[in-house]
Structure 1
Amino acid sequence: MEKYTKERKVGEGTYAEVYVGRDQENGRLIAIKALKVTGFKEGLDMSAIREIKFLQEIRHRNVIELIDVFATVNSISLVLEYLPADLEMLIKDKSLIFKPADVKSWLLMTLRGLHHCHRSFVLHRDLKPNNLLVAPDGQIKLADFGLARAMAVPREAMTPLVVTRWYRAPELCLGARFYTGAIDIWSVGAIFAELMLRTPYLPGEDDAKQAILTFKALGTPTEQTWPGITQLDGYKSLEPSIEKFPAPRRADLQHLFLAASDTALDLLQGMLTLCPSKRLNTKQALKSPYFVELPRATKPEDLPRKAPSAVESEGDSEERKRREEMRQNMINQTRERRMQPQVKSVVN
């Protein structure tokens, strides 16, 4: 605990407070997520345990780094790398211009991070733009693993009450208790659409209307297009009132996503396939021709970004000063070493 300082609070929830701080050993900016142990009736909340567990196990360039964990009397604190912005902030900032190559880069990094989670047998279960954080070098980092869990063994029931509504897969909207990583892929598809539209793609007003809005946009599924859908409790309750919406034509999608290429629309449709067993997985998505056609994905360091905050600027300034001092010391040491043989030859 003595290694870190808290400089300012940047967020607070029911069970946690988040601070920007600094590692006193190297001056690095960090985020400290303090979990309030006293807020739980029976010890630490399971979501907090899962978040610590998975972040300790998952190490990837596109997943937020857990630096340390320490405990105090009333809290357990997660020390995380400090990431100054998230994708939602960029989407809402209309002063930023998104090029097709920028969207491709953000999607590629998101899929790489998610692919690492899935091959590590971890479901994220809450992917949305403000859980995709942006590092100073432009890298996208998957964050907030509070709802994550290990992939279930066959026929192991899980709760459908996961994922923020606008990014929730249709099987979850219909109450499915048996699901796979396809729910995360759906969320990424919805984020992909939002990056192209600069507004949420399927913003349901409430949980009941989310499924209807999804069917209206992508077509009403049937037992033929989605085997087993009629057995879902949510579908049974909605069936009498479900209108039979047609699947969108390619021309309709082209009209909505004006800047999207044919391969981009193919990838979008593959990730937003209603039937989860027919939906693309992360490996298939990453192999899409969309990622190899022109224009190439923008380099992370060249992506649009928010201006740094005051605390970032101060931290960056201190870091530059420290590096310059180290560089100057190295130059001086090198000069001294070069001079030593010359002095010896004169003495001799």
Structure 2
Amino acid sequence: MSTRSVQGSDSVIKPLDTIPEDKKVRVQRTQSGFDPFEKPTSQVKRVHSENNACISHPNCPTSPKFGKADSYEKLEKLGEGSYATVYKGKSKVNGKLVALKVIRLQEEEGTPFTAIREASLLKGLKHANIVLLHDIIHTKETLTLVFEYVHTDLCQYMDKHPGGLHPDNVKLFLFQLLRGLSYIHQRYILHRDLKPQNLLISDTGELKLADFGLARAKSVPSHTYSNEVVTLWYRPPDVLLGSTDYSTCLDMWGVGCIFIEMIQGVAAFPGMKDIQDQLERIFLVLGTPSEDSWPGVNSLPHFKPDRFTVYSAKKLRQAWNKLGYVDHAEELASRFLQCFPKNRLSAQAALQHEYFSNLPPRLWELQDMSSVFTVPNVKLQTESGDSIQVCARRNSHGKASSGTKH
């Protein structure tokens, strides 16, 4: 079993109270005011999907195709969670593979709030590096989110290529991750659960942010959030210490952990016991914080100086030697892995870092929905005698298929 399965200043994001009203994130409704989360009424309302196909009553004269449960064929189960099951599926409308996230509804409890949050946010996000939500199907028993089907995830990809990924591939994966994050952060949305399992990788090497169940729009009035977010290994020290006042810097810590894991081939901070153990692993490398290095740390709920061994900060390459083999990698990683949240580099600023200076300039000119692989000479390198295309499952015609995980 894979061990992974166990577990600069942010200048582009304004404080909550300074976000202009016209920039605040709104839940994007489908046309005609249809709300897929409300129980159906006796009068059927007609809405239209992004494909402009009619989603309505089966007898609708305009050929209803999308928005119906029988428009998709389940092929195999991909995974099951506490409130949802994910299936590989196929659209009967256009024959494309999809991922069906079937959320079970209970009469007394209604629709799980995480499902509402995920669907609401994803409907408004259109970017090549964010998983695409194709359709929503609401019945009395279930709510089904229909996603594009992507081949694998970063966790599985790293498992197939142990010991660290090809440096050029790390760079392309990180660039795409930052590109997707910059897009959502500029829309005042935090992902809050960044980890390799939630980063999908297509058979061409395209990375897509997925699983927005914990994502949250920062346009709400409150400054506080639950600190029970982000898988332990990728959870920043401020949240581990009980802080509930955070911004996009929360996601950027996770970026640093994933960056190091791709290069080194092992998780950056694989805590095995509890939050105390997780913090000790972080402080062993970055140094035990004080009021001098982290203003306000003494006021955090779970920070008790006498509970932690006092460590001095080390160079990151002392903990992860492969950072020293790639130009500018150690410096960039250090900008992400800052204990003091406000010192972490933003996604938008990170895209301008010297680490990416040898990539084609056209990458910074792409439209949101354009893949980085549309730029000439941008492609993944062979990993340990194998290419990502070889890892892709083959269909009956011998062509690489694509899959997903949510």
| Paired residues of 1:118 and 1:181 also in contact (CA < 8 A) | yes
**1:211 maps to amino acid:** L
C-alpha displacement at 1:308, in angstroms? 2.5
2:351 paired with 1:267: no
2:108 paired with 1:54: no
> Using the alignment, how far apart are the partners of 1:244 and 1:293 within structure 2?
39
Q: 56, 69, 78: which one pairs with 2:136?
A: 69
C-alpha displacement at 1:6, in angstroms? 0.6
Give the match's secondary structure for 2:253: helix
Give the match's secondary structure for 1:57: coil
C-alpha displacement at 1:71, in angstroms? 1.5
> Using the alignment, how far apart are the partners of 1:109 and 1:264 within structure 2?
16
C-alpha displacement at 1:284, in angstroms? 1.2
Q: Cα deviation per residue 1:200-236 (whole Å; 9 max; x = unaligned)?
A: 1100112221111111121111101110111001113
> Using the alignment, how far apart are the partners of 1:223 and 1:95 within structure 2?
39
In the alignment, which residue of structure 2 is the partner of 1:105? 172
Segment drifting more, 41-50 vs 58-67: 41-50
C-alpha displacement at 1:243, in angstroms? 1.2
| Paired residues of 2:316 and 2:334 also in contact (CA < 8 A) | no
C-alpha displacement at 1:101, in angstroms? 0.9
In the alignment, which residue of structure 2 is the partner of 1:249? 315
| Paired residues of 1:267 and 1:288 also in contact (CA < 8 A) | yes
> Using the alignment, how far apart are the partners of 2:87 and 2:259 within structure 1?
30
2:97 paired with 1:29: yes
In the alignment, which residue of structure 1 is the partner of 2:344? 279
Give the match's secondary structure for 2:257: helix
**1:15 maps to amino acid:** Y
> Using the alignment, how far apart are the partners of 1:96 and 1:68 within structure 2?
39
| Paired residues of 1:253 and 1:265 also in contact (CA < 8 A) | no
**1:242 maps to amino acid:** F
Q: Which runs of at least 4 in structure 1 moved beyond 3 Å after TM superposition?
A: 94-97, 152-155, 253-256, 293-298, 300-304, 314-319
**2:346 maps to amino acid:** N
Distance 1:300 1:32, change over 3 A: farther
C-alpha displacement at 1:309, in angstroms? 2.4
In the alignment, which residue of structure 2 is the partner of 1:337? none
Distance 1:17 1:218, change over 3 A: same
For the aligned residue pairs, the C-alpha RMSD in angstroms reads 2.4
Give the match's secondary structure for 2:302: helix
| Paired residues of 1:186 and 1:271 also in contact (CA < 8 A) | yes
Q: Cα deviation per residue 1:183-210 (whole Å; 9 max; x = unaligned)?
A: 1000010000000111111001122211
**Where does 1:294-313 land on structure 2 (aligned, <5 Å)?**
299-300=378-379, 304-305=387-388, 307-310=391-394, 313=395
> Using the alignment, how far apart are the partners of 1:44 and 1:302 within structure 2?
43
In the alignment, which residue of structure 2 is the partner of 1:293? 358
In the alignment, which residue of structure 2 is the partner of 1:144? 211
C-alpha displacement at 1:154, in angstroms? 7.2
> Using the alignment, how far apart are the partners of 2:155 and 2:179 within structure 1?
19
> Using the alignment, how far apart are the partners of 2:178 and 2:380 within structure 1?
18
Q: Which has the larger radius of gyration?
A: 1
TM-score, normalisation: structure 2: 0.72
2:252 paired with 1:185: yes
C-alpha displacement at 1:285, in angstroms? 0.8
- Relative contact order higher in (CA < 8 Å, ≥ 6 apart): 2
**2:302 maps to amino acid:** G
Q: Which has the higher helix share?
A: 1
Unaligned runs of 5+ residues in structure 1 are 320-348
2:289 paired with 1:226: no
C-alpha displacement at 1:315, in angstroms? 7.7
Segment drifting more, 206-215 vs 116-125: 206-215
> Using the alignment, how far apart are the partners of 2:332 and 2:173 within structure 1?
14
TM-score, normalisation: structure 1: 0.84
Distance 1:77 1:181, change over 3 A: same
**2:393 maps to amino acid:** S
Distance 1:242 1:315, change over 3 A: farther
In the alignment, which residue of structure 1 is the partner of 2:82? 14
Unaligned runs of 5+ residues in structure 2 are 1-68, 362-371, 402-406
Distance 1:195 1:74, change over 3 A: same
| Paired residues of 1:33 and 1:79 also in contact (CA < 8 A) | yes
Distance 1:217 1:84, change over 3 A: same
**1:272 maps to amino acid:** L
Q: 84, 93, 96: which one pairs with 2:151?
A: 84
> Using the alignment, how far apart are the partners of 2:124 and 2:379 within structure 1?
25
Q: Cα deviation per residue 1:97-121 (whole Å; 9 max; x = unaligned)?
A: 7321111000000010111110111
Distance 1:251 1:11, change over 3 A: closer
| Paired residues of 1:58 and 1:120 also in contact (CA < 8 A) | no
C-alpha displacement at 1:77, in angstroms? 0.2
**What number of residue pairs does the alignment pair up?**
313
Distance 1:225 1:41, change over 3 A: farther
> Using the alignment, how far apart are the partners of 1:28 and 1:315 within structure 2?
15
